[in-house]
A and B are shown apart, each in its own frame.
Chain A
Amino acid sequence: MRTDLAIIADLIKPGARVLDLGCGDGELLAHLQENKHVNGYGLEIDPTNITTCINKGVNVIEQNLDAGLQNFADASFDMVVMTETLQSVKAPDRLLHEMLRIGEQCIVTFPNFAYWRCRAHLALRGRMPVSTHLPHSWYNTPNIHLCTFKDFERLCAEQNLNIIERFMVDAGHSTRPLINRFPNFFGAFAFYRLGKETT
């Protein structure tokens, strides 16, 4: 299993109702169905991914996240997951709000644009960062809303979203002590578990 998905799977309680936004090939949901008796749906728009999900017996719905999530009722899921998709949607702020309308909690993962390799790429070469961490060129990237960990946490503060836990990993999805000390510099990807507004 993909290491980032394994990290997310650990955060989900058995029997939870899960909505996976941009569920890809359905690996997370298939794993959760088999191992945690999780009942869930995945939203996806890529035809190949949808077929793969169907072959795996995953409840995949063909739906574009940018068209909104009005078809999902308030508080109808325990957990809404979005893996490395936040940066490619039209309105990440509204979507985060929607995720916590629909779910009790949500898990969001995204790449850190302030990762030291990105900074170095931009500072030393003067070009948009391209690496295994962010593999696309500027002209064909789906990532239209890249942000840093700091940016994301500022948004959470502005929107009163409660960060229940967070952790950062390097480009290979491993944790390292240095990342904990300087997350916005050494962290390549972040996992945030968010809850409803802070009280």
Chain B
Amino acid sequence: MNPESSASSVGIVSPQRFHHSGDFPLQCGRRLPGFELVYETYGQLNDEASNAILICHALSGNHHAAGYHDSSDRKPGWWDSCIGPGKPIDSDKFFIVSVNNLGGCHGSTGPRTINPQTGTEWGPDFPSVTVKDWVNSQRLLADHLGIDCFAAVVGGSLGGMQAMQWAIDAPERLQAAVLIASAARLSAQNIAFNEIARQAISADPNFAGGHYRQQHKNPDLGLMLARMVGHVTYLSDDGMRQKFGRELKSGDISLGQDVEFQVESYLQYQGRSFSQRFDANTYLLMTRALDYFDPASDFDNSLSAALAQTRCRFCVISFTTDWRFSAARSKEIVDALIRSERNVCSAVIESEHGHDSFLLPIPRYFEVLGGFLNRLHQDYSDAN
């Protein structure tokens, strides 16, 4: 792996930190005595500061969306296929900002941060955060970076929810919102999957009521189960059949073995590696933020009234086999945007990869996303 050799990679990147020292009020009524956000940027901000794109991450994402931290890294950032020179989110045209959300476990203030009032880690006492809180914290980061108005705020899944909240809460601060495989609120089924994940974590004896770090333990098993359940919902039946079929791990059935089928081995690997890199308290907090997201609730449960606050243009993308955030959920957003007479384009991308499609380099998906952003770039270039 030589990250610098590829012309389509942003190359080696270094995370940066933004420190907000003021009191930060949260939707839950509590306040954070300041916070830090860790973020990365790719590309150059132009003189007018009009070419910035904010990337909002999904449930288990982080700020490291593209490029490599070190030339020895095996894997690039989580959305490297989409972000870079000549890619749909083109770092030759745009200044791309990717941030780890408040409450995260990859460097931004969260459960693993020291609570200045107690001198110990926040752990389970870290306040509940909402999508609105994330947008508010990201606005402060934008101020710090000198970005009055983003060209676009882009996100998939939970990231798309943030982009939608941005458009509602700060209409003057973005030209476009790109909502990929997202929803205006979770369905009961979706909340149910999150609850199974949360129960798996909190039922793990090593969870210790969230105080596992003080006891030098980690709820590995709970996190692993949570991730395995989540992972199944991110794939499609067809996609799994094609990827694993009923292939056996060792070639023949040996009844009673722990791992027989490839799909088991895959899920266990995914679950185990997740339990090593993700914080259980963060997982609980992020899934709660997902569950609570419902911008229409501030507007008499009318999504079109909520979206009537917006001024940007929208691009709404969904995938045919996504059942976690189905195309019908994206259509609800599109219909509400039409009712509120907003500018919107939408595409339903044929894909066999379920919800995970939003992370994959599917040609039509990238044409739509790249085309939309390219048009945006043309329009503000003409305006300048």
Q: Is the CB of A73 within 8 A of B344?
A: no
Q: Tell which of B334, B347, B350, B374 touches A55, judged by Cβ atoms closer than 8 Å.
A: B374
Query: From A53, which residue of chain B is reached at the shortest CB distance?
Result: B345
Question: A47-B364, A54-B315, A54-B345 are known contacts. Are A61 and B372 too (CB-CB below 8 A)?
Answer: no
Which stretch (B19-27, B192-200, B278-286, B335-343) binds chain A?
B335-343
B368 near A61 with CB under 8 A, answer no
- What bracket does the count of chain A residues touching chain B fall in? 20 to 34
| A142-B347 Cα distance, complex, nearest whole Å | 22
Cβ contact within 8 Å between A57 and B379: yes
Q: Residue on A with the closest CB to B374?
A: A55
Complex Cα–Cα for A62 and B344 (A):
11
Which residues of B have CB within 8 Å of A50? 345, 347, 368
Q: Evaluate whether A61 and B344 lie within 8 angstroms (CB atoms) in the complex, with A71-B335, A73-B339 already known.
A: yes
Is the CB of A56 closer than 8 A to any CB of chain B?
Answer: yes
Q: Is B296 an interface residue (CB 8 A)?
A: no
From known contacts A61-B344, A61-B345, infer whether A51 and B371 are also in contact, taking CB-CB under 8 Å. Answer: yes
The complex places the Cα of A58 from the Cα of B335 at a distance, in Å, of: 16
* Docked CA distance A61–B350 (Å): 15
CA distance A71 to B341 in the complex (A): 13
| Nearest opposing residue in chain B for A45, CB measure | B348
Interface size on B, residues (CB 8 A): 22
The docked-state distance in angstroms from the alpha carbon of A61 to that of B368 is 12
When chains A and B are docked, how far (Å) is the Cα of A39 from the Cα of B374?
A: 21
Residues of A contacting B237 in the complex (Cβ-Cβ under 8 angstroms): none
Contact present for A54 and B344 (CB under 8 Å): no
| Interface pair A59/B347, CB less than 8 Å apart | no
> Is A71 within 8 A of B345, CB to CB?
no
Residue B346 interfacial (CB < 8 Å) = yes
B338→A54 contact, CB < 8 A: no
| Given A61-B345, A61-B346, A62-B346, A54-B331 contact (CB < 8 Å) | no
A107 CB to nearest B CB, Å: 20
- B348 touching A62 by the CB < 8 A rule? yes
In the complex, B277 has a CB within 8 A of chain A = no
**Is there an interface contact between A54 and B371, defined as CB atoms closer than 8 Å?**
yes
Restricting to A172-195, which residues have a CB under 8 Å from any CB of B? none
Any B CB within 8 A of the CB of A100: no
Cβ-closest 8 pairs across A and B: A71-B335, A54-B371, A55-B371, A60-B345, A62-B348, A51-B367, A57-B375, A61-B346
**A and B contact pairs by CB, cutoff 8 A, 5 listed:** A41-B344, A57-B375, A59-B344, A62-B347, A71-B334
Q: A54-B372, A55-B375, A60-B345 are known; give 4 further A-B pairs, CB within 8 A.
A: A47-B347, A47-B364, A54-B347, A57-B379
